Amino acid sequence: MSSHMALPPPPSALPRLRYRCAGLCGFVLAVLLLRLPLERSVALVGALRRWAVRSATVGEAEVLVTAVRRAAQWFPGRAACLENSLAAALAALLTRRSVDWCIGARLMPYAAHAWIEVEGVPVGEPSEPDRPYLLLQRT
């Protein structure tokens, strides 16, 4: 089973079937898409956003992140922030909602990170990070 890197534990409540299916499909699509160059995944998420009916609420995004993390628990390979955040963005798009998929980095020590945001609020992230990330890409 995979482990999550320094993220809060997922809520114990089981998401509704609709969100669990979207989370699983989003995770499978994310793993497949990340076999391609990253700019293709960024372009695809950007292109699919026009099909979204509306922006997700923070609550909907939290449920989707939980559903993705539950699907990722059974994946035998890497299921870190990049895979999970892309999967959450794709799961939101599968439910015809949009979220911002963000990729960032920080220095000393260098670290890269990916996450989703709704209305500028990071979803599924620690409430007080030890050091902020510089946003490099928002899709």
Residue 108 located in a structural domain: yes
Residue 86 located in a structural domain: yes
Domain that holds residue 43: 17-138
What are the tens digits of pLDDT across the range 74-127? Answer: 999 989 999 999 999 999 999 999 999 999 999 888 999 999 999 999 999 987
Residue 56 located in a structural domain: yes
Residue 40 located in a structural domain: yes
Residue 1 located in a structural domain: no
> pLDDT confidence of 7, banded at 50, 70, 90?
low
pLDDT at 15 over 90: no
For the whole model, what pTM was predicted?
0.88
* Domain tally, the chain: 1
Question: What single-letter amino acid sits at 91?
Answer: A
What are the tens digits of pLDDT across the range 32-61? Answer: 999 999 999 999 999 999 999 999 999 999
Residue 3 located in a structural domain: no
Burial label, 39 (beta-carbon count in 10 A; 0-12, 13-18, 19+): exposed
Burial label, 74 (beta-carbon count in 10 A; 0-12, 13-18, 19+): exposed
Residue 92 located in a structural domain: yes
| Token digits of residue 16 | 């509704």
Residue 30 located in a structural domain: yes
